[in-house]
Structures are given as structure tokens and as C-alpha cells.
Chain A
Amino acid sequence: MTAVATAVATDDLRVAECYQCGKCTAGCPVAGRMDRMPNQIVRMVQTGDTEGAMRAGAIWECVSCQTCTTRCPKTVDCAGVMDLLRQLSAERPSPEQARHHTILFQHAFLNNIRRHGRLNELELVGMFKAAVVTKDLDVPFLFKDALLAPRMMQRGKLKLVGGSVRDRAVVGRIFDRCLRGTDA
């Protein structure tokens, strides 16, 4: 995303109106485990330190529950700011972020969708675990929840072959058009 696009997005999210009341932080379910509080993230964007904000671990701990945006007294879209920073971080991850499980998961998810049009869960788990092992060098992760698979299959919840989309090609084209040309 260009600097201009980022500035426009920031404007739309009303970052300039934030008066740092902290209500977002107060209601965030995962604030306790964040390295920066939600109001601090918005503050960093406010003062032009978008680079610092997109490097915060907090943006990938965020669960997108929308509580912050819903309760903000200044109608700042805090959840939207988190999304924007995640998008910037995904474009240019730091080495640490490139290993982060959540980013790896989201990429695996999107690649899966791109290929199949709909989620193929078994393949998603496989690709995600593979990414974690290769990028984060966390080999034990391969076996995490391994026992869950047979229990899920027992309950008919895990299909070996997923349902498919007929026109998968259009999905690929949609992805291409969106992921390229990021200066709109």
C-alpha cells in the first residue's frame, strides 16, 4: 500500500479524532496479553509512527471482536486500524512476524481458498502445520491436536475430499486483481 493510500485509509478510520480515552483498551478481551494497548496502537498511527504500530505483536493477537469500535466515543474505527496494520504487516512482515503462527495461518487459509474456492479443512491444517514447521521451526507443532482428527472423522466432521466450486478459475482471477494493484 502506498503512503497515500495508507493516509487515506487512516483518515477514513478517523484516527485523528482519537483522544486517547482508553475505552478500547478497557473492553479488549485480549489486552492483557498485548505488548501495546489498542489505544497506544492508535496513538502511534496518530503521531505518524505507522511503522512502529505495524510491528507491534498486538495486531496479531487481536481477535477482531469489534468491541473497541462499537464502544468508541469518538467513532474511531479501532478494529479497522488493526485490520489496516495487519494488511501492511502482511505486505512487509518483519522476520519475527513472518514466523508468527497467525500470519502463517491466514496465508494458508487464503491460499486454500484461492485453490479450491471454498475451504478444504484437512488440507488447510496440513499446509498450516507445514508452514509452522518450516518457518517457525516448531516441529512438535506437527503433532498438536493430532488426536483430534480421528475424533472429528468419527463424528463425520472431517471430510477427506471437500465440496468444490465449479468455477474455480474466477476465484483465481479475483485474487489476482485484488492482490495486485494495491494502490487503489
Chain B
Amino acid sequence: MARIGVFTCWCGENIARTVDVEKVAAAVGELPGVRCSLNYKYMCSEPGQALIAEKIASEGLDAVVVASCSPHMHLRTFRKTAASAGVNPYRVEMANIREHCSWVHHDRDTATQKATDLIRMSVAKVLWDEPLEPIRVPVTRRALVVGGGVAGIQAALDIADAGYEVVLVEREPSIGGKMAGLSETFPTLDCSQCILTPRMVEVGQHPRIKLYTYSEVEQVEGYIGNFTITIRKKARYVDIKSCTGCGDCWNCCPIKRNPSEFDYGLGMRPAIYMPFPQAVPARPVIDKETCTRIKKGKGCGLCEKKCLTKSIHFDDQDALVTEQVGAVVVSTGFKLYSIGKEQEDGKTSGYGEYGYGKYKDVVTSLQFERLLSASGPTGGRVVRPSDGKEPKNVVFISCVGSRDDAKGLPYCSKICCMYTAKHAMLYKHKVHDGQAHVFYMDIRAGGKNYEEFVRRAIEQDGARYYRGRVSRIYEENGKLIVRGADTLAGAPVTVEADLVVLAAAMVPAPGVRDLARKLNVGYDEYGFLLESHPKLRPVETSAAGVFICGACQAPKDIPESVAQASAAASKALIMFGHAELTREPEVARIDEKNCAACFACIRTCPYHAIDRADVLTPRGVFVKRTARVNPGLCMGCGTCVAVCPSKSADLAGFTEQEIYAEVEALV
């Protein structure tokens, strides 16, 4: 016979105002199996928990029902209390008489009756609760970090410095991401590469970081603590081990003029090239689309002949390697919204009225960074791409593609107000007699020292800020005519600019949706990866063991990306803190004797947590096929239970018998 203790909480006034708690406690005390029934003002408090522990001991309870708030709040708390007093934590049930009762009803009588009904259901269920044990999953204490920008670098260093191995996979030939291409960063105006490259070098030299550059994640198998990752190492055509980075090859390459990816098309690079001087690894790569030898299969080959260490191999092929890891951190970053043409999704469209792509002197913010950068295509001189002259009037336009329901994205890209102010300042620092004009809608400068930074651009560096959007840009006699509005003055404004910089929206990096599907991570309609909870779990995802950080989750600046990266690293380190992981045992299980091996469950499981398996005799003779749940992956959603035609699948802690018991208690 069960010995159940029911503890009904007042929750101060929250429950007691609407539900007659004393009456409820008295009523449920009469239920079969209930050994004792108490009520108390605050069950979750220390005295409240002490009460439960005390009753468990004095009454010899073997199951507990707490009638109070939502299990989301305190189920863990009460389970711990029960466990410490000797009751299996999975023989603890909570009846939600707050969110489901006192908070949504007004009438005291009916609410009291409903509370009693809810508790009766929980009592009926707890009678059938099995004393489950947590599932233990072994953990491979290695991490995979996908994306080698500042966020990925931070996460990799944190995990590696904690003593664990990290596999860092980066799609480009060098790590560094977008930050490596910036000139100076707000609000300190630190030289971007100066603060980043020491970190990049640290990654490159770290004994516990295995760096795969010019590589992508091909396939992901396994589950939390036990992932098998297949990585595709794209053919670089250069052996980075023997290569010394001397530069003879790229200096002799005859195909000199390809638009440089690093300079966003403003500069040129040869077919064999080093992405930028501070690249890590500091080794060149051959662009197979433009290299004569690779395209035609013969001819040229000058670089190979010149190379003293014989590091060039035109017969290089992509290679697949596998790595075993326990946790994955995704830090794939962002790219800019394509302003001048159709988008991948076909829902947004470009801004023909701004002339981007038509006029050389209309550039994006990242392109302007390259103009400002000392290592950029103009050596840090701000000049017009069309004629190389110094612009005396530069117009900066905010929110191009952001905050736009009609042709762009509805969200705010967060960083543009700050970097536009930065651009205005840096431009003025370089062109002393220049005038910056900024067209904005609002100024978003909420970070530390951010507001002061923007005011500096206006008050000290003389940037002229017009509150209004720009309708159209066109070129007359070499000048860009910018037709905007000054809504504060209540008039249209026309500026004749020499250069226009468009602050384009931030969107997730291309290919992120494919990667997310491989990892079972959700993404929103824009491709931003979904966090478990926007407030309380910003770096975890619905896929156990997979964490996210940086701009792949949402637009954000460098300080936030770095902070999130460390947060994601800490989540991985929590996992690595033990040789084994404990998982909640409320997972599905399949009665293999009964299973008809129709595999409907495998097809419907959203977590790919069910496998086909063979049932064998002890001597290895085949008996039958069956479906088998991987308790390491199962999230307990119950879909398999719903679809199983032979009723072989059931959910521990929420068995069909328990559900029916609850329903019968109610009827």
C-alpha cells in the first residue's frame, strides 16, 4: 500500500486568495493511499522543505505530491528534498494549483473544487510512478567549435585553457572572421587586428586546439557527449606543413586581378593568395576557379616551379576526416544583407533606389572598413573607388535593409548606429576638411560608453546627423545626389556626396540552415539559430550538447559576442566537469518483445533518437528486429508513443497507464 504525503501550498496570497487551501488539504487527506495531508504558506522555502523531509521520516512516506506552482518553478527543488530524505525523486509529483488554477479563475468555490480535482489526479498518478534512476551517459571531453571568428576563437581558447581539446573548424582559409577585416572597433577605437591577432596566434599555437581551416562540417552523428563529426577539408593545393609562407608563389602568379574576398571586392588578389598578411595559418590557398593550371589541367604552374619547399600540389583533393567530440559550439557569425539584388529567400529584394552596384562610390559599411584599414586596398586612405580622389562629403545611411517591412528585414541590426558614428569619426580623423553626413532614424547606443561615443562623433568631430531616411541616390557630374529628409526640421534635404556608405543589415552567414539541420538546432525565419530561452538560456539550444554564441544567434557587437562565447564555453565545461553526464530518465522506452519493427517511431522522432536494432539470443542468434531508443538523445516528447501502432513505446514517468489513471481520477 502506498504511503503518499500531500503538501498543499498557500504561496502566500497567490493561491490562498482564490483557493481555500485548508479545505483542499482536508479533502485530499481522504484519498486512498494518502498518509498525511498538510498545508503551509510557502512550501518552497527552507521551513517548507524541512516540513516535507520531516514528514517523510515520521510517516515513512514513499511518494510525495506537492500542490503549488508550476513544475517549471520548483519540481527540481522538491525532488532534491525528497531524495535527501530517502524518497526516490521520481516519485514526486506536482499539482499546479497556481498557474493552472488560482491565477486564472476568480470564483472561490469552483477554484477550490478544481484544485482538489488536480491534486486527486496527481495522487492517482504518483501511485504508478516508478522509482527511476538518472541515465548516465559517458562524455568525450573534447569540443567542436564551428566558425573561427572572434566568438569561436574566444570559446576555443576558454575550453582549451581549461585543459580540454578543441577542434576548431573554419570555412575560410584563415580564422579571424569579420573582425579581422575591421579598421578600429567602438567604443575604444582599438585597432581591430591589433587586439585580435594575438588571440588568433594563440589559437594557432595552442597545444590543445586542432585547427581545420578551409574546412566545413560535413556530417554530424551521435548525441550529447558522444558526437562523431565528419569534416571536409577543402583542397587548398598547398601543403601548409611544409610551406613557409615566404610569398614567392603569390608574387609570381600571373592571374593578378581577382576581386579580393577579404576586401569585399574593393581590392584585388592573385589566384594563389594569402587572405591577409596576419592570416592564421599564414599560408596561401589556391582559388581553383581562377587558377589556370587547375581549371585547364595544364599550363602555367609558375608557383609550383618557384616554390623552394615544393609545397604546391595541383593534384590536391578534398579530404574527409572524423573527430569525436562531446560538445559542439556554433559560432558561424554573419554576413551583410545583399543590397543591390534579389536575396536567397526571394522574400526580400534589393534597394534599386540607392544605386549600389551601379555607382562605384556607393559602398557598404564593411567595404568602408577596408578603405579605413591600414592594411586595406588603399593603405588606409579614404578615397573614392571610382577615381581615387579624397571625398570631402561622405554620406552615411543607417538601417539599409534593417527595420524594413517592405523590402528588407523587420529587425534592428544593433551595431550600425555605433559603427556609423565610428565611421564618421575615423573619416574626420583622416580627412580633416571632410564633412560627414549621417541619415538615421534613431540612435541605439545602449552599451557601456556607447552614448558618449556617439555624442563625440557629433560634438567633437562635427558629424552632421539628419533624422530621416534617404529616398534616392543618383549620380550627376561625378557627385552622388542624396535625397533625404530632416524630419526634425520638417523638410527634405539634398546632399551632394562624394562617397556614400550604406549600413547594411546583418544576416546569418550563408549555409547556416544546412549546418543547423545537421546539428538538430532550430533556426528562425531569418536563419538565426534558436536559443533555448531568450532570457535565461541564451547560449543553449534544443539540441543537447550543442551551444551557440555570437552573431549566428542574433545581431550583436564584439563585447557581446565574446561574452556569449565564454558563456557557451562554460556550458561545455560544465559537461566536461564529469566523466559521465546525468540525464533525466523521463525518456521513451520500447518493449522489444512487443515491437513489430514497423519503425513508424523512427520516422517521426524529431531528435533522431531511435535506432533499428536486432534482438539476439545470448549466443548471438537473431531473434527479431526492433526499434530501440537511445536514452542519451531522447528528449521525452512522446511522439513515438503516439504513433506506435502496437503500443510498444511508452514514456517513463508519463506512462500510458499513468495518464489514464489521471483521467479516470478526474471522471
List the interface of chain A (C-beta within 8 A of B): 17, 19-28, 31-32, 36-37, 39-40, 67, 71-75
Contacts and interface: CB of A to CB of B under 8 A. Distances in A.
A26 B468 contact: yes
B485 A74 contact: no
10 contacts: A21-B399, A25-B487, A26-B472, A26-B484, A26-B485, A39-B487, A71-B472, A73-B404, A73-B406, A75-B406
Contacts of A24: 471, 485
Most buried by A among B469, B470, B486, B487: B469
Given A26-B468, A73-B406, A73-B469, A19 B484 contact: no
B472 to A, nearest CB: 6
Contacts of A23: 468-471, 485
Contacts of B468: 21-23, 25-26
A26 B408 contact: no
Nearest to B483: A26
Interface of B: 353, 399, 403-408, 441, 467-472, 483-487, 490-493
B407 A22 contact: no
A31 B470 contact: no
B469 A74 contact: no
Most buried by B among A23, A28, A67: A23
Contacts of B399: 21
Q: Shortest 7 CB-CB distances between A and B: which pairs?
A: A27-B471, A22-B485, A22-B468, A26-B471, A23-B469, A26-B485, A73-B404
Contacts of B469: 21-23, 26, 73
A63 to B, nearest CB: 15
Contacts of A71: 353, 471-472
B406 A39 contact: no
Contacts of A21: 399, 441, 468-469, 485, 487
B261 to A, nearest CB: 30
Contacts of A17: 405
Contacts, number: 75
Most buried by A among B405, B485, B490: B485
A31 B491 contact: yes
Most buried by B among A21, A22, A28: A22
B492 A28 contact: yes
Nearest to B471: A27
B492 A37 contact: yes
Nearest to A25: B485
Contacts of B403: 19, 73
A58 to B, nearest CB: 11
B505 to A, nearest CB: 12
B482 to A, nearest CB: 9
Contacts of A28: 492
Contact of B405 (A22, A26, A39, A75): A75
Contact of B485 (A19, A39, A72, A73): A39
Given A23-B468, A75-B405, 12 more contacts: A19-B441, A20-B487, A22-B469, A23-B485, A24-B485, A25-B468, A26-B484, A26-B485, A32-B491, A37-B490, A40-B487, A67-B471
B408 A73 contact: yes
A22 B441 CA distance: 9
A24 B471 CA distance: 7
B492 A31 contact: yes
Contacts of B470: 23, 26
Contacts of A40: 487, 490
Contacts of A39: 485, 487
A22 B468 CA distance: 5
Nearest to B351: A71
A25 B441 contact: no
Contacts of A37: 485, 487, 490-492
B400 to A, nearest CB: 10
A17 B403 CA distance: 12
B474 to A, nearest CB: 12
A74 B407 CA distance: 9
Nearest to B408: A73
Contacts of B484: 22, 26
Most buried by B among A20, A26, A39, A74: A26
A75 B596 CA distance: 56
A36 B399 CA distance: 25
A156 B531 CA distance: 73
Contacts of B483: 26-27
B410 to A, nearest CB: 9
A41 to B, nearest CB: 11
Given A21-B441, A26-B470, A71-B353, A32 B405 contact: no
Nearest to A75: B406
A20 B485 CA distance: 10
Contacts of B485: 21-26, 37, 39
A31 B486 CA distance: 12
Nearest to B467: A22
B483 to A, nearest CB: 5
A40 B492 CA distance: 12
A111 B484 CA distance: 40
B471 A73 contact: no
A37 B493 CA distance: 12
Most buried by B among A24, A27, A32, A73: A73
A40 B467 CA distance: 13
A159 to B, nearest CB: 40
A36 B489 CA distance: 11
A112 to B, nearest CB: 35
B185 to A, nearest CB: 28
B562 to A, nearest CB: 32
Contacts of A31: 491-492
A73 B406 CA distance: 5
Given A25-B492, A37-B487, A40-B490, A74 B471 contact: no
Contacts of B405: 17, 73-75
Contacts of A74: 404-406
A72 B469 CA distance: 10
A32 to B, nearest CB: 6
A31 B485 CA distance: 10
A21 B439 CA distance: 10
Given A17-B405, A39-B485, A27 B472 contact: yes
Contacts of B441: 19, 21
B340 to A, nearest CB: 16
A23 B486 CA distance: 10
Given A31-B491, A73-B403, A22 B353 contact: no
Contacts of B406: 72-75
Nearest to A17: B405
A53 B257 CA distance: 58
B603 to A, nearest CB: 41
A24 to B, nearest CB: 8
B395 to A, nearest CB: 12
Contacts of B490: 36-37, 40
